[in-house]
Amino acid sequence: MHSRSFAVRARLGGRTAAHVAAPRGTLEMMSLPTTDTMPRTGPLVDTFGRAANDLRISVTDRCNFRCTYCMPAEGLAWLPKTELLTFEEMARLLGMFVGLGVRSLKVTGGEPTIRADLPRLVEMFRQVGPALDISITTNGLLLDTLAAPLAAAGIDRATVSCDSLLRHRFAEMTRRDALERVLMGLRAAEAAGLVPIKINTVVIGGTNDDEVTAFATWARETGYEVRFIEYMPLDAQRAWERDKVVPAATILEAIGKVYPLTSAAPDHEPATLYRFADGAPGTIGVIASVTEPFCDTCNRLRLTAEGQFRSCLFALDETDLRGPMRDGASDDELALLVRQAVWGKWAGHKINDIDFVQPARSMSMIGG
Ligand code: SAM
Ligand code: SF4
């Protein structure tokens, strides 16, 4: 009985909320495709034929690091607790997404490990999706104590962010002197079986680009998959500069001179993967979001910590799921909102276009 009013209110709610408002004029210029031909069953598709089945749920917007490329030293205006989705709300929405064909879940944030009682939430996720591939993206600081409980609760794999193997530089980039503890967390993650371990390394020109070969050496020694991520215009300070983006091709060339690489089969994540030609363990990945966007094969969906649904990391609009859910919407009504939002997904981000508009939310507020 609520469908129509929920649909309209939710879409407008998502579009007009002050914290996600796009610059003046932008929303007026965006037109959504008609939903007349939108499939109401089957895979979650958009008008470009892409099917989405990979969901990221941000379980908190808060963080215990202050990475320079992500947020300012003083942090951000954190969401009040009442605005965060509860465990029950997240589990319910996950069930709805599984019904829509989601097959993999990434638990992220902010820093997901600082959400109190995270293992209990993961247990609830696991009950909802016994066959889901569930991984976590974390800065690793708390993995020394949390890796085992998270594995027991149902996390399959961990991706740990690490931007430098040098203590002083790690401290500069994260504003926390925590490299040693993150390395302990990585050992705990391995011991708990959260493998294969993936490492996310954001490469910033003039800051840590001289370390890419050292990271490759580390991959060979540990067997980790080190994924180099191009620096994206998603920092809260809006200090991103194109000159500081180190193209994936440059990274691969530098590594290839020391350790020749061969292409490896892709997994379901966006990194392009390489193995060492001499057969050494470890994998090198590059996520070339800026220089070689992979929008045409994007299968990702995102749910923010306060229940806003996003069909693209760079989307300028969002669909509120929390409001309708708290107002009594059924799963079918929520699923319809999601289908409509995915149907309206744009072809791709415009980082390289003159009319690129950085989303109002930064990476940690979206859930990377
Ligand atoms: N706090 C967790 C962590 O750092 O792994 C999870 C959330 S974090 C927002 C997810 C990923 O986004 C991290 O690997 C981080 O390095 C990456 N990231 C943050 N800001 C970025 C930016 N401006 N460009 C590229 N990657 C960024
Ligand atoms: Fe926190 Fe992750 Fe952002 Fe670093 S990248 S400040 S760890 S949310």
pLDDT tens per residue across span 119-162: 999 999 999 999 999 999 999 999 999 999 999 999 999 999 99
The residue type of 294 is F
Q: Which residue carries 């008008």 as its tokens?
A: 47
Spatial distance between the Cα atoms of 204 and 182, rounded to a whole number of angstroms: 20
Tell whether pTM > 0.85: yes
Mean pLDDT value across the chain = 89
Rounded Cα distance, 352 and 233, in Å:
11
Flag whether pLDDT at 13 surpasses 70. no
Identify which of 143, 229, 364 to mutate to test ligand 2's pocket (most ligand atoms within 8 A of the CB).
364
Give the CATH class of 3-366: alpha beta
- Compute the half-sphere exposure of residue 202: CA atoms within 13 Å on the CB side of its CA: 22
Which residues, other chains included, contact 38 with Cβ-Cβ below 8 Å and sequence gap of 6+?
Answer: 339, 340, 343
How many angstroms separate the CA atoms of 111 and 74, rounded? 16
Q: Supply 164's token pair.
A: 């430098």
Q: Interhelix angle for 167-174 vs 179-191, to 10°?
A: 90
State the amino acid at position 312 in one-letter form.
Answer: C
pLDDT cut 70: percent of the chain above it: 91
Q: What was the pLDDT predicted at 289?
A: 86
Q: What is the pLDDT confidence band of residue 14, given thresholds at 50, 70 and 90?
A: very low
Residue 126 in contact with residue 153, Cβ under 8 Å?
yes
| 161 pocket-lining for ligand 1 (C-beta < 6 Å) | yes
Closest residue by Cα to atom 8, ligand 2, is: 110
CA–CA distance, 134 with 108 (Å, rounded to integer)? 11
